[in-house]
Structure 1
Amino acid sequence: MTDTELDPVIHAQARLRVVAALAALSRGDRISFPRLQQLLGMTAGNLSTHLRRLEEADYVRITKTHEGRTPATYVDLTETGRAAFHRYTRTLRALLGETS
């Protein structure tokens, strides 16, 4: 990928929204799947599909656990994902003619 190519994994509108939401979290923070779903207004199936693609690219980490007897799923942005989002936004700014 060149400096003028947008990352196709992130570029899909739904995945861009997911990555942008996760990038807003502090490093090391994570968000529950239901909270992310609510925040983005996506169906569970649609969000799962996009998270799977991001996970395959090592951009997000999915952690499945239990809180008591209730299953819980958490999502966070990996360092690879954070770097990819930084490159994506830098490339987008360059394509738009912005300098910062």
Structure 2
Amino acid sequence: MTELDTVIHAPARLRIMVVLAQLDRGDAIAFPRLRSELDMTAGNLSTHLRKLEDAGYVAVTKTHEKRTPVTYLALSDTGRTALTGYRSALASILGGTT
């Protein structure tokens, strides 16, 4: 049987991955915008992003705009590949059902 990537499989992390996958390669989204899109608390989103970042699936860029710190998030190439694999594994598992 095909294994699902447990890093992605958590519902909150799957939602994060799907939203980030909608961005073009090289594009990033600001943390507050992602939080709003997902309707998650900052703490919950941060926790899940850390797991995805530790796995190499999400690239985190911290910078400043004027004097305000800003965090940008993007799906890494590794993350895109992992999500494609996850989708394939899920399709394989569900393929035998009606």
TM-score normalised per structure 2: 0.95
Secondary structure of 1:42 counterpart: coil
Structure 1 partner of 2:78: 80
> Are 2:5 and 1:7 equivalent residues in the alignment?
yes
CA distance in 2, matches of 1:58, 1:77: 9
Displacement, 1:45? 0.1
| Unaligned stretches of 5+ residues in structure 2 | none
> Identity, % of aligned pairs?
61
Moved over 4 A (4+): none
1:65 is paired with a residue whose SS is strand
CA distance in 1, matches of 2:29, 2:5: 24
CA distance in 2, matches of 1:64, 1:34: 13
Query: How far apart are the structure 2 equivalents of 1:97 and 1:53?
Result: 29
2:37 aligns with 39
Structure 1 residue 57 corresponds to structure 2 residue 55: yes
Deviation for aligned residue 1:81: 0.3
* CA–CA separation in structure 2 for the residues paired with 1:93 and 1:25: 23
Aligned length: 96
Aligned residues: CA RMSD: 1.1
Which residue of 2 is the match for residue 19 of structure 1? 17
One-letter amino acid of the structure 1 residue matched with residue 58 of structure 2: V
TM-score (norm 1): 0.93
Structure 1 unpaired stretches of 5+: none
